[in-house]
Amino acid sequence: TKAHIEAIEKARALNAFLTETPELALAAAQDSDARIARGEARPLEGLPLGIKDLYCTKGVRTTAASRILDDFTPTYESTVSANLWRDGALMLGKLNLDEFAMGSSNETSAFGPVVSPWRRKKGEGFDDAKIVPGGSSGGSSAAVAARLALGATATDTGGSIRQPAAFTGTVGIKPTYGRCSRWGIVAFASSLDQAGPITRTVRDAAIMLRSMAGHDPKDTTSVDAPVPDYEAAIGASVKGRRIGIPKEYRIGGGAEINALWDQGVAWLRDGGAEIVEISLPHTRFALPAYYIIAPAEASSNLARYDGVRYGLREKGRDIADMYEKTRAKGFGAEVRRRVMIGAYVLSHGYYDAYYVRAQKIRSLIKRDFDEAFAAGVDAVLTPATPSTAFAQGEKGAADPVEMYLNDIFTVTVNMAGLPGIAVPGGLGADGLPLGLQLIGRPFDEATLFSLAAALE
Ligand code: GLN
């Protein structure tokens, strides 16, 4: 814990932590030492973790990287973080993210972007460009990649665990919708949001997810199903496993990405897996449908930030004026854009044309996966992202859709509610990490862990 606290202090230029809690961490570490000495160690005893600042932490400022929650200190603990503390882990601090988890590069944080510890190759040396750690869980991925935390919590609505993991050479799993409780995690798009870990290894992810997961009566969408010992799945043979390769995903990335994908296929085939081409015909509609559903739910979830119940309040002539001024000042540009899109697609006269259609597409995407699994496919292998990480300011400044395209391989998984894991696949020509993604059957994270460990 002390080594991690020192590493955090030395790496402040990365801007990975929004709040550091060294005193709490050291006190918890002492308690852990005492338990270990008594022979009463819990499963995660004394393991120092970072917590994405979207998880409410009792008595510790929680901002969602937004001005509107600048001085919000929850009086309660999210279920998932409470599960980690129950099992003996301890908190080093709260990690930066895109504002309300909206973004793919951690550049929308009200507290400044996170910098990846990775550097891009240039000739014989390195570029000076600041590389993004991905988003929205960019503080989590940067902290784990830079060895500032042993592991970190993250959340994934359209790719925010898997894309930052891929960009930083770390492992990230978005479990099945309902596997982890969303209680006490600031909501973005409630039907898509899931908690999960970012870690250095597949084994660490398996250990951490087991503690995070489980039924919670406080979240009616959390599922009452046993949580298996995921660690036990690691080391299992991939022989005879049937891996689907969706032909529609060929179009998403460049030659380098397709080569990485072929490499992943070869690794699994060498291990004895059976590789089959599959078709997920509605893939191309996933991104546009996601960017209707996610903003629609966000506009509804963010209605609660009205200057009355939480955080920031600006002065106004009357209550409507106060709302307007508070929200105009408290929300950044990307959040305002999402709220406007969401309010528009939910409004009378547009609801059927946009929102209802997007929901129908969502059903078709889910059905595509159902059919592949019904045909005997155990997991689907794809690239995690269409490129390696880019530099700050390089994408999305003129056209936000350029940034949204980053999610092309990940959003389908949230739309279908399935588990997906990102695992490092190698380095691109620019020296930056590339990730592979495995998508599994509902509640079959164990298979993903066993396959991912074979790719690691
Ligand atoms: N990049 C996507 C978005 O901006 C996904 C974000 C996420 O998964 N939280 O909506």
Give the pLDDT score at 25.
Answer: 98
pTM of the entire predicted model: 0.98
Spell out the SS3 assignment of 98-112: CHHHCCCCCCCCCCC
Q: Which atom of ligand 1 is nearest to the CA of 102?
A: 4
Both tokens assigned to 205: 């992810």
- Counting ligand 1 atoms within 8 A of each CB, the residue from 173, 335, 407 with the most, and so the one to mutate, is 407
Q: How far is CA 316 from CA 66, 333, 438, in A?
A: 21, 21, 50
Residue of 55, 26, 76, 257 lying closest to 140 (CA atoms): 55
Ligand 1 mean position, distance from CA 247 (Å): 24
CA of 101 to the centre of ligand 1 (A): 6
- For residue 309, the model assigns a pLDDT of 85
Q: Which residues line ligand 1 (CB under 6 A)?
A: 101-104, 136, 156-160, 188, 294, 407
Question: Which amino acid is present at 48?
Answer: P
Of 20, 198, 18, 15, the closest CA to residue 114 belongs to 15
Task: Decide: helix, strand or coil at residue 23.
Answer: helix
Q: Report pLDDT for 310.
A: 82
**What is the residue type of 189?**
A
> β-strands 48-52, 151-156: how paired?
parallel
Which distant-in-sequence residues (6+ apart) come within 8 Å of 296 by Cβ? 189, 341, 342, 345, 346, 355, 358
Which atom of ligand 1 is nearest the CA belonging to 188? 9
Which of 98, 105, 136, 414 to mutate to test ligand 1, by most ligand atoms within 8 A of the CB atom?
A: 136
Which residues does the annotation mark as catalytic? 52, 136, 160
Sign of the four-CA dihedral 253, 254, 257, 263 = positive
* 381-370-166 Cα angle (round to 5): 30
Tens digit of each residue's pLDDT, the chain (456 residues): 999 999 999 999 999 999 999 999 999 999 999 999 999 999 999 999 999 999 999 999 999 999 999 889 999 999 999 999 999 999 999 999 999 999 999 999 999 999 999 999 999 999 999 999 999 999 999 999 999 999 999 999 999 999 999 999 999 999 999 999 999 999 999 999 999 999 999 999 999 999 999 999 999 999 999 999 999 999 999 999 999 999 999 877 788 999 999 999 999 999 999 999 999 999 999 999 999 999 999 999 999 999 998 889 999 999 999 999 999 999 999 999 999 999 999 999 999 999 999 999 999 999 999 999 999 999 999 999 999 999 999 999 889 999 998 899 999 999 999 999 999 999 999 999 999 999 999 999 999 999 999 999
What does the block give as tokens for 194?
Answer: 């899931």
Looking at ligand 1, which atom is closest to the CA of residue 160?
Answer: 8
